[in-house]
Structure 1
Amino acid sequence: MSHLLSKFQTVDYIIVVVYLVLLLVIGYRASFGKKNKNENLFLAGKSLNWYKIGFNMWGTNVGPSMLLAFASIGYSTGIVAGNFEWYAFVFLMLLALVFAPRYLASNVTTMPEFMGKKYGEKTRNILAWYAMVKMLISWLSLGLFAGGFLVRQILGIPMWQSVIVLVLFAGLFTMAGGLKAIARVNVFQMILLIGVSLILCVIGLNKVGGWNNLFAQTPSSYWHLLKPASDPNYPWYAIFLGYPVSAIAFFCTDQAMVQSVLGARNLKQGQLGVNFIGWLKILSVPLFILPGVICSILYPHLNSADEAYMTMVTNLFPAGLNGLVLVVLIAVLVGTIGSSLNALSTVFTTDIYVKKINPNATTEQIIKVGRRTVLAGCVFAILVALAIDSIKGLKLFDIFQAVLGFIAPPLTVVFLLAVFWKKTTKKAVDFTLSWGSFISLGIGIIYLWVLPARKYHFWPHYLLLSFCIFILLITIALAISIWDKQPITSTEDANVHIAKPNNIVKWMWGLLSVVMILLYILFR
């Protein structure tokens, strides 16, 4: 596969340079053009409306991993990966209608702070460290690895050089502007991404001769979301049982995703913003998976399915549009890595530095520590991304889902119990976050590195394994809460008024639910 850069003309270079300068200007103005710098850096001064929340959450979610991995699965399997986008509406609705009202009513900045109010400072401290580990691995390192993989395909340079270049630029932008800058840029970036992806799909469809030829030249199994139980890659029961474990942790408890909601102008804007990303996720199948399906017809003999996206871009886009493609790739990289760096900085400064190290810190000190945290996160992410690059035998998409599946169970257990079962005790929460995390991550390390599933075939599907870990941990947590001799349960909910969604919010979520059910009936 030839490198994209080899097809660049003068106009392409101009487009890229102008865009990079624009990003830095936006970051600078967001940081220094307003007062309340601390609020701008972390929660955007609680000024975000619904479309900024939706685009920012989608921009955080639509990283290079999605562009590469979804096209890869489309190339080899069809639209089955659409489950990870369309099934998500259930858990986005859970965030909007159940979790978000509690988060905003508690007036918190981070997820550890929320749990700390319910179960005490020890719980907050444990969760803060675990949340940072989760962000460093599942967001920063995986996102950086996928970005490095992408840049390696574009420029033909080694992985270590790719990830260093990417993380330095994203880190610089995050330190300059914080959440407000990221939210502003993501609105424009996501519109640009939709436009470029749509152009790629249209060109690809024309190349294969239209929809009829596309359906005729691909296996009928490519167009089904639900695979039979005998399917070795994505059996329906593994997705049905295992994906919710990751999805609840990802959408409802992850600081990088939830932070946009915490920065909402009010609850209604937050709930409508989460609803908006539900609608945007419908586009993932035609925009990100369909190019991979088309590529399987046009270029059926690739060395790796992971090359599908860049193969389409490199071979189909005419001269002059290549610079725009590179701009979009930079956009999704900055959106994902920048949002996760900002979330990491927020958790460390709020839950560790201010709470434990320097309670009397000034605004200037907090911002300085936050920016140093970004730098530290960049270094760690580079090292882990290179370690992930050493994993062989799994597709990019499976690596991402497997890693998240082993990080998620403890978080999913404690947040579900905290919200839905008032008798959950502090001892149960602390055990799940500490020893439960050790169990879950330990199994993940064994699965991916020590006794890898590609060599040892006794392992169940990674999604089913994640579900089994979840069942184990929630059973232990329930038992501890029931048998705890000195229960210390939460009193926070009794002191906080939980607002109910208004009619517009209810109607929008009802409409989205109907549309998603119809889509599943159509592509079942």
Structure 2
Amino acid sequence: MCRGSLIKIGGPSNLIEQFPADSIMGPNMNYPLLFVAWFIFMFVKQLQNINNMQDSYRFLTAKDSTNARKAALLAFVLMLIGPAIWFMPPWVTAVLYPDAALAHADALGGKAADAVYLVFVERVMPVGMVGLLMSAVFAATMSSMDSGLNRNAGVFVRNFYSPIINKNASEKKLMRVSQGVTMVFGALIIAVALFINSLRGLSLFDAMMYVSTLLQMPILVPLFFGMFIKKTPDWAAWATLAVGMVVSYMVSFVITPDVIANLLGIEGGFTSREASDLTVMNGIIGHLVFTGGFFCLTTKFYKEPQGERKTELNEFWTDVATLLSRKKDKMRSTASSAACLVSSS
């Protein structure tokens, strides 16, 4: 689609010359400082979103630490060129079809602009590509959803159900619980998706930004800060999550863009785009300062663990500091020893 869009418009130079926006900031943005600040804080958020303990598993499948670094570098490069590939069709559509944002207004209402990709496929691509596009969307969603559901179910069972609710549960029991938890998580995700879809005035992009900033960041703060701040009490992560939800509530319903506009004396307030960007940026700032600050303050209540808990933590941080190649060598050695024991018996 990226290549087809460039061919349709006649190359990048024609796209730049004919692009309808008055500036690089696009429409409905009157404050360059807000635009730059949003970009900076979104970069910080993505840094936490990708580099944290929850998502570190993606590097464990590499052959060794060297290949894991190469995988991270490849992901970095792809993320640099990815936006150009993803946004090229909408950019071209904005030039060639100015009415694209209203093409499906009857069905989507205020979210009609989210159908720009569909408009491009309908008007530019060959017949039948709409079905292929829908298949690709479903395939991409399912591939991410199933791995995410399995991961979250495993985290819940291994880190909450097994050590707290049922310490003596068998592997069969844990499997059944994980299957049930997967179904519950799936139902919750569907319910949230239906709720977001019912918000006719909220675009898909804004919905993604709100969810990732106001709901995901309270979880990411302890997962990211915990890689560097080790001496925290066991309750620090859960308490930080609770504080993060309070911060998200304050940003959403108390310190709103209208309140900020009144404090700054801005007549007429912010535009809808400015208000959306400001809400996201305030959420990131709030979680970095207050949620992250609370997590750091929990170190004041840290007490040196004893007994089995101390052994668990020492093993965990040893694994974190161990190169991936050495871990796999250790696993191979353990597997070989086990095989020898089995064969000798």
TM-score (norm 1): 0.48
Q: CA deviation at 1:416?
A: 4.2
1:205·1:211 contact (CA, 8 Å) conserved in 2?
yes
Q: CA deviation at 1:298?
A: 1.5
State the Cα deviation string for residues 217-239 of structure 1 (Å, max 9, x = none): 015766679xx99248x611232
Matched, 1:295 2:113: no
Partner letter of residue 212 of structure 2? Answer: L
2:5·2:88 contact (CA, 8 Å) conserved in 1?
no
Separation in structure 1 between the aligned mates of residue 158 and residue 229 of structure 2, nearest angstrom: 27
Matched, 1:487 2:303: yes
Separation in structure 2 between the aligned mates of residue 396 and residue 296 of structure 1, nearest angstrom: 18
Matched, 1:337 2:150: no
The counterpart of 1:218, out of the listed 13, 16, 19, is: 19
Partner of 2:35: 235
- Match of 2:160, SS state, is helix
* Superposition map of 1:193-204 within 5 A: 200-204=1-5
State the Cα deviation string for residues 275-318 of structure 1 (Å, max 9, x = none): 32222223322321111100101211222321111111122221
> Given the superposition, is the C-alpha separation of residues 474 and 235 from structure 1 closer, same or farther in structure 2, using an over 3 Å criterion?
same
Partner of 1:111: none
1:423·1:481 contact (CA, 8 Å) conserved in 2?
yes
Separation in structure 2 between the aligned mates of residue 356 and residue 412 of structure 1, nearest angstrom: 22
The counterpart of 2:9, out of the listed 208, 211, 223, is: 208
- Match of 2:210, SS state, is helix
Separation in structure 1 between the aligned mates of residue 213 and residue 304 of structure 2, nearest angstrom: 30
Partner of 2:52: 253
> Given the superposition, is the C-alpha separation of residues 309 and 457 from structure 1 closer, same or farther in structure 2, using an over 3 Å criterion?
farther
- Match of 1:419, SS state, is coil
State the Cα deviation string for residues 74-129 of structure 1 (Å, max 9, x = none): xxxxxxxxxxxxxxxxxxxxxxxxxxxxxxxxxxxxxxxxxxxxxxxxxxxxxxxx
1:248·1:412 contact (CA, 8 Å) conserved in 2?
no
Partner of 2:331: none
Partner of 1:274: 72
* Superposition map of 1:105-144 within 5 A: none
- Match of 2:226, SS state, is helix
Which structure ranks higher in relative contact order (CA pairs < 8 Å, sequence separation ≥ 6)? 1
1:407·1:440 contact (CA, 8 Å) conserved in 2?
no
Matched, 1:311 2:119: yes
Partner letter of residue 471 of structure 1? Answer: V
State the Cα deviation string for residues 32-75 of structure 1 (Å, max 9, x = none): xxxxxxxxxxxxxxxxxxxxxxxxxxxxxxxxxxxxxxxxxxxx
State the Cα deviation string for residues 8-31 of structure 1 (Å, max 9, x = none): xxxxxxxxxxxxxxxxxxxxxxxx
* Superposition map of 1:45-64 within 5 A: none
Number of aligned residue pairs: give it: 293
Separation in structure 1 between the aligned mates of residue 161 and residue 235 of structure 2, nearest angstrom: 25
Separation in structure 1 between the aligned mates of residue 61 and residue 171 of structure 2, nearest angstrom: 18
Partner of 1:443: 250
- Match of 2:31, SS state, is coil
Partner letter of residue 217 of structure 1? Answer: Q
- Match of 1:318, SS state, is coil
Q: Which has the larger radius of gyration?
A: 2
- Percent of counterpart pairs with the same letter? 20
Q: CA deviation at 1:397?
A: 1.5
Separation in structure 2 between the aligned mates of residue 423 and residue 455 of structure 1, nearest angstrom: 38
Partner letter of residue 418 of structure 1? Answer: G
Runs of 5+ unmatched residues, structure 1: 1-199, 503-524
Separation in structure 1 between the aligned mates of residue 140 and residue 24 of structure 2, nearest angstrom: 27
Partner of 1:29: none
Partner of 1:327: 135
2:221·2:287 contact (CA, 8 Å) conserved in 1?
no
Partner letter of residue 201 of structure 1? Answer: C
Runs of 5+ unmatched residues, structure 2: 103-111, 263-274, 326-345
* Superposition map of 1:365-384 within 5 A: 365-384=173-192
2:247·2:283 contact (CA, 8 Å) conserved in 1?
no
* Superposition map of 1:1-80 within 5 A: none
Separation in structure 2 between the aligned mates of residue 202 and residue 422 of structure 1, nearest angstrom: 48
Matched, 1:419 2:222: no
- Match of 1:283, SS state, is helix
- Match of 2:126, SS state, is coil
Partner of 1:352: 160
Q: CA deviation at 1:423?
A: 4.3
- Match of 1:253, SS state, is coil
Q: CA deviation at 1:352?
A: 2.8
The counterpart of 1:472, out of the listed 290, 303, 310, is: 290
> Given the superposition, is the C-alpha separation of residues 452 and 399 from structure 1 closer, same or farther in structure 2, using an over 3 Å criterion?
farther
2:162·2:168 contact (CA, 8 Å) conserved in 1?
yes
Q: CA deviation at 1:445?
A: 5.0
2:65·2:323 contact (CA, 8 Å) conserved in 1?
no
Separation in structure 2 between the aligned mates of residue 222 and residue 324 of structure 1, nearest angstrom: 35
Separation in structure 1 between the aligned mates of residue 22 and residue 67 of structure 2, nearest angstrom: 40
2:257·2:279 contact (CA, 8 Å) conserved in 1?
no
State the Cα deviation string for residues 328-381 of structure 1 (Å, max 9, x = none): 222211122222212222122222333334444444433333222222122212
